[in-house]
Amino acid sequence: MSRGMMTRNKGNLTGTKYFFVHACVEIVCFYLLRIHFPTAMAGAIALSYDFFAFLPQGLIGDFIIKHRKTPYESIGNALMGVSAFMILAPGDALHIAGYIVLAVGNAILHECGAIATVAESEGKIFPSALFVAGGSYGVVIGQTMGVAGVSPWWLLIPLAVSELLCLSAKVSVRKESYPEFHVVSPKVSAGLILLIAFIVTSVRSYIGYAIPISWNKQLWQSFFLFFIMGAGKALGGLMADTVGVRKTAFIGTLAAIPFLLFGDKVMVVSCIGVFFFSMTMSITFAMCLSILKTNPGLAFGITTAGLFIGLLPAFFVQFSPIVNIVLITVFSILSFVLLRYTLTDGAPAR
Q: What is the pLDDT of residue 350?
A: 46
The DSSP code for 347 is P
Question: Which regions of the chain are under pLDDT 70?
Answer: 1-8, 38-41, 345-350
Fold match between 3-173 and 190-342? yes
Collapsing DSSP states into helix, strand and coil, what is residue 343? strand
Collapsing DSSP states into helix, strand and coil, what is residue 184? strand
Name the H helices within the chain: 3-35, 42-54, 57-66, 72-88, 92-119, 126-148, 156-168, 170-173, 190-210, 219-242, 245-253, 257-261, 267-278, 281-291, 296-316, 321-342
* Cβ-Cβ contacts under 8 Å for 136 (sequence gap 6 or more): 226, 227, 229, 230, 233
Q: What is the pLDDT of residue 1?
A: 45
Amino acid at 241: D
The CATH code for residues 190-342 is: 1.20.1250.20
- Provide the sign of the torsion angle of the four alpha carbons 172, 133, 342, 346, taken in this order: positive
Q: What is the pLDDT of residue 28?
A: 97
Report the C-alpha dihedral over residues 342, 135, 324, 33, rounded to 10 degrees.
-140
Residue in 28, 342, 64 with CA at minimum distance from that of residue 201 = 342
Q: Is the peptide bond before 38 cis (omega within 30 degrees of 0)?
A: yes
DSSP-assigned states of every residue in 189-219: -HHHHHHHHHHHHHHHHHHHHH---TT--SH
Which pLDDT tens digit goes with each residue over 276-302? 988 888 899 999 999 999 999 999 999
Domain boundaries, the chain: 3-173, 190-342
The CATH code for residues 3-173 is: 1.20.1250
* Cβ-Cβ contacts under 8 Å for 94 (sequence gap 6 or more): 86, 87
- Angstrom CA distances, 349 to 124, 159, 290, stand at 7, 35, 10
What b-and-e string marks burial along 168-181, b requiring 16 or more CB atoms within 10 Å of the CB?
ebeebbeeeebbeb
